[in-house]
């Protein structure tokens, strides 16, 4: 099978996102200028550098209320955000926070997730996330778009890192025990449940 996406997709459902997996989910929390908090999952997300540590996520399309999705709107105003991680325990809440809520509706309230104050940024953190990354906006990049769908990459510097102590064993992070979930294609997810070593 070979196809050129521009010429049409030989499937009923575009399989692109089912080919690049698992995609980590950045569960992005932000705050707007009136103090209303926001939380949404983004799987076009990853770490992209480490000196200094930097992450990116991409906001594709608009919300039904505004030109941009709320997370991007808030970040363009406040210039800060927090990356949280969903686990097998919080998968339902993560899904709830992906609903198209209005800008003045707080996803923390609707998903019944507890907030925790960040140390260096105004956006709140998800209390039940094993790790929280406090980020300052570095820049946004407008991505190529063949449609009316606006795609924007948001790059942030990680200026503060929280790791729950129970996941630190002998001075190393015990990543498998965090039970992160990640995105496959369609409505499929996976749970990180094993690892192996390969020395370079
Ligand atoms: C697991 C998951 C991953 C998602 N990844 C993205 C993504 O990478 N980019 C995007 O624009 N929307 C993504 N979405 C959809 C957004 O979460 C959704 O549009 C949400 O309402 C945006 O919220 P906001 O307007 O509060 O930012 C994803 C949804 C789910 C459930």
pLDDT at 75: 98
Residue 178 in this model has a pLDDT that exceeds 80: yes
Q: What is the arithmetic mean of pLDDT over 46-53?
A: 98
Q: Give the alpha-carbon dihedral of 98, 104, 107, 112, to 10 degrees.
A: -150
| pLDDT reported for residue 64 | 77
57: left (phi over 0), alpha (psi -120 to 50) or beta: beta
pLDDT tens digit sequence for 60-70: 998 777 889 99
Query: Distance between CA atoms of 57 and 21, rounded to whole angstroms?
Result: 15
162 alpha carbon – ligand 1 mean position (Å): 23
For position 173, what pLDDT does the model report?
97
Rounded distance from Cα 176 to ligand 1 centre (Å): 25
What pTM was estimated for this model as a whole? 0.97
Q: What is the mean pLDDT of residues 38-64?
A: 96
pLDDT at residue number 138? 98
pLDDT at 63: 79
Q: What is the mean pLDDT of the chain?
A: 97
Radius of gyration of the chain (CA): 17
- Beta carbons of 55 and 156 less than 8 angstroms apart: yes
Sign of CA dihedral 116, 57, 60, 19: negative
Q: How far is the CA of 200 from the centre of ligand 1 (A)?
A: 35
Please spell the DSSP secondary structure of 26-51, one letter per residue. EEEEEE-TTS-EEEEEESSEEEEEET
Residue 154 near residue 137, CB atoms below 8 Å: yes
Question: Domain spans of the chain?
Answer: 25-191
76-93 pLDDT per residue, tens = 999 999 999 999 999 999
Residue 38 backbone zone (phi > 0: left; psi -120 to 50: alpha; other: beta): beta
Tokens standing for residue 49: 């550098």
Ligand 1 pocket member 59 (CB < 6 A): yes
Residues with Cβ < 8 Å from 72, sequence gap 6 or more? 59, 140, 152, 154
Encoded tokens for 48:
């992209």
pLDDT of the residue at 62: 84
pLDDT for residue 134 is more than 80:
yes
- pLDDT tier at 147, thresholds 50, 70, 90: confident
The predicted model gives 38-47 an average pLDDT of: 98
* pLDDT at residue 189 is higher than 80: yes
Q: Is 23 in the pocket of ligand 1 (CB under 6 A)?
A: no
* Percent of all residues in the chain with a pLDDT value above 70, rounded to a whole number: 100
Gap between the Cα atoms of 74 and 174, Å rounded: 33
Q: Which two tokens mark 59?
A: 């906001």
The position carrying tokens 């997300």 is 45
Please identify, by atom number, the ligand 1 atom nearest to the C-alpha of residue 60.
11
Determine the residue of 22, 37, 41, 58 to mutate for testing ligand 1's pocket, defined as the one with the most ligand atoms within 8 A of the Cβ atom: 41
Residue 186 pLDDT grade (very low, low, confident, very high; cuts 50, 70, 90): very high
Topology of domain 25-191, CATH: Pnp Oxidase; Chain A (2.30.110)
**pLDDT computed for residue 13 by the predictor:** 96
> Could you tell me how many residues make up the chain?
200
Tokens standing for 1? 């099978």
């Amino acid at each position: 099978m070979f196809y050129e996406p521009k010429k049409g997709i030989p499937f009923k459902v575009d399989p692109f996102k089912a080919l690049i997996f698992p995609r980590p989910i950045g569960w992005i929390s932000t705050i707007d200028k009136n103090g209303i908090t926001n939380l949404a999952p983004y799987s076009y997300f990853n770490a992209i550098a480490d000196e200094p540590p930097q992450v990116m996520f991409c906001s594709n399309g608009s919300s039904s209320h505004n030109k941009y999705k709320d997370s991007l709107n808030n970040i363009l105003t406040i210039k800060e955000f927090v990356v949280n991680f969903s686990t097998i325990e919080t998968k339902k809440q993560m899904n709830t926070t992906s609903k198209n809520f209005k800008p003045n509706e707080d996803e923390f309230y609707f998903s019944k997730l507890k907030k925790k104050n960040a140390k260096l940024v105004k956006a709140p953190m998800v209390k039940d996330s094993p790790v929280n990354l406090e980020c300052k906006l570095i820049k946004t990049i407008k991505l190529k778009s063949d449609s009316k769908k606006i795609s924007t990459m948001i790059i942030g510097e990680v200026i503060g890192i929280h790791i729950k102590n129970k996941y630190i064993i002998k001075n190393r992070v015990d990543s498998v025990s965090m039970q992160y979930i990640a995105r496959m294609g369609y409505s499929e997810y996976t749970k990180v449940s094993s690892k192996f070593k390969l020395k370079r």
